Amino acid sequence: MIAIFITIFTAVAVFFIGKRGKKIPGKLLACIIGLEIVGSLISLTSGSGNAVVKKLRRPEAAGATAHRDIKARSGEKEEEVDISISARRLSDKESERKLKQAEREIKETYLGENESSETVYRDLLLGSRYQGSVSAEWEISPQGIFDSEGKIYNSAVESPTEVRLRGLLSCQDRSSLIELTVKAVPVPPDADMGFSYYLSKALDAADAADPEGSYLVLPETINGRSVSFTEKHEDEGLKLTILMAFAAGLYYFYITFRARDLEKARQKEISLDYPKMVSALSMYIGAGFSVRQAFEQVGRAYQISVARGHPRRPAYEALLQMNRSIRDGEDEENAINAFGDSLRNKGFRKLSMMLAQCRRKGNGELRDQMEQEEREAMEKRRMDARIAGEEASVKLLLPMIGLLGVIFIALMIPAFMQMQ
């Protein structure tokens, strides 16, 4: 119930905060209220407080002892106790059934990967516990061929040898005896493990043949078959070639994405320069300057600004280049068109086309067109500023979402632990 009260209190608090004009972002508000509702549902389903307990479930047979923290109360006296609950004991009938199941499991699995008990050259599977509650103790005769877990010592098997396995199975007060017989044989040369076994054996013999020698002479034959040895040499030149090719690929992707980022940043600066330049050109043209004179005045003002320490701007640098081209004798219309094309910006292309057309048709409508373009440019600048502000608010929301995830984990983990 406490969780429900907290959820209601939060909703009321958010409502009054909104009434005062301090609205919480909708997505964040939905996350907070949603998580509080989830927490309330978990609290209702898992419950809280003290529940009356009359019996405790024992662990299954052969399981570990369980412990429970229980509070005992009698009248005004109360005490917390740690109750140890031992595993359930099997009945005699269940013990007999477990022993028979263990015998059946042993007969089905003791050969391991061996195909027959008459040709055993791989490890046996002799466990110490079966069916969870049946323990097994193994006696192997003769000794030295298998260990108590069934691992075979192939080097000790020089000829087929019969091995007896006696297992004493115990389950609480019941016990039974199982006897098995296998024939251990030398590893067949054509077996899957034959080559590796006899190779290892031949290498051990070669190492022991001349321990004082400077070299280990490798065997030429194994089981009558010739054998050759090769050693892998690392091709350092190939590694270096691959590494350099990989580095070249990384550098190519780096310069590609770097150029893309630089061009994106350049276009952003050009878009910011456009409204200012249009405003300045409109002012000079409205004052009676020609298009060329207006460009000269804007360029001169920019040079003074740079001389005073202001940063260089790409659009104005292109304007200076256009002014120099015109002074060097290039056609004014071509220079203006080249100016718009060099910036690769839709606004400047439109401006250059408009100025070139007015130069051909006359300057009668140029002043009105420049004023109209100035208004559109300033409106676009305001829209871009609004979009940039919204993007900034979204970026600021990300840390808050991360903090909300931490709060969610802090609330949910104790709830799940209490449910378990």
The per-residue pLDDT for range 66-108, each reduced to its tens digit, is 888 888 878 778 888 888 888 777 888 888 999 999 999 999 9
Q: Report the pLDDT value the prediction gives residue 183, as an integer from 0 to 100.
A: 93
Q: Which residues contact 307 (CB under 8 A, 6 or more apart)?
A: none
Lowest mean pLDDT, pick from 39-53, 254-268, 335-349, 356-370 = 39-53
Query: What is the chain's mean pLDDT, rounded?
Result: 82
Say if 69 falls within a structural domain: no
Q: Model pTM?
A: 0.44
Say yes or no: 279 and 387 in one domain.
yes
In the block, which residue shows the tokens 């439109």?
A: 350
Residue 11: give the domain boundaries. 2-46
Say if 291 falls within a structural domain: yes
Q: Give the tokens for residue 208.
A: 């022991």
- pLDDT tens string 384-396: 777 777 776 767 7
Q: Report the pLDDT value the prediction gives residue 268, as an integer from 0 to 100.
A: 84
Say yes or no: 288 and 375 in one domain.
yes
How do strand 221-222 and strand 174-184 relate by DSSP bridges? unpaired
Confidence of residue 167 (pLDDT cuts 50, 70, 90): very high
Of 162 and 1, the one with more pLDDT: 162
Backbone φ and ψ for 98, nearest 5 degrees, come out as -65, -40
CB 314 within 8 A of CB 266: yes
Say if 278 falls within a structural domain: yes
Instruction: Please state the rounded mean pLDDT for residues 379-388.
Output: 76
Total of domains in the chain: 3
Is the pLDDT score of 361 beyond 70?
no
- pLDDT tens string 19-69: 665 566 666 667 777 777 777 777 666 555 566 777 878 877 666 678 888
Say yes or no: 107 and 174 in one domain.
yes
d(CA 217, CA 207): 8
Say yes or no: 371 and 279 in one domain.
yes
Say yes or no: 29 and 98 in one domain.
no
- pLDDT tens string 287-331: 888 888 888 998 999 999 999 998 999 888 998 999 999 888 888
Say if 318 falls within a structural domain: yes
d(CA 307, CA 300): 11
How wide is the angle at C-alpha 331 spanned by C-alphas 303 and 311, nearest 5°? Answer: 20
CB 152 within 8 A of CB 124: yes
CB atoms inside a 10 Å sphere around CB 412: 14
Say yes or no: 13 and 104 in one domain.
no
Q: 184, 215, 250: which is the final residue of a domain?
A: 184
Q: 15, 31, 46: which is the final residue of a domain?
A: 46
CA dist 370 to 301, 342, 373, Å?
19, 21, 5
d(CA 335, CA 323): 8
What single-letter amino acid sits at 52?
V
- pLDDT tens string 180-203: 999 999 988 888 888 888 888 888
d(CA 377, CA 370): 10
Q: Give the tokens for residue 351.
A: 């401006």
CB atoms inside a 10 Å sphere around CB 270: 20
Burial degree of 282 (CB within 10 A; 0-12, 13-18, 19+): buried
Say if 416 falls within a structural domain: no
Q: Report the pLDDT value the prediction gives residue 102, as an integer from 0 to 100.
A: 92
Say yes or no: 295 and 390 in one domain.
yes
Say yes or no: 304 and 360 in one domain.
yes
Say if 178 falls within a structural domain: yes
Say if 363 falls within a structural domain: yes
d(CA 411, CA 4): 14
Say yes or no: 382 and 284 in one domain.
yes
Q: 184, 219, 234: which is the final residue of a domain?
A: 184
Say yes or no: 99 and 11 in one domain.
no
Say if 411 falls within a structural domain: no
User: What share of the chain has pLDDT > 70, as a percent?
Assistant: 88
Distance of CA 261 to the CA centre of its chain: 27
Lowest mean pLDDT, pick from 61-75, 112-126, 266-280 = 61-75
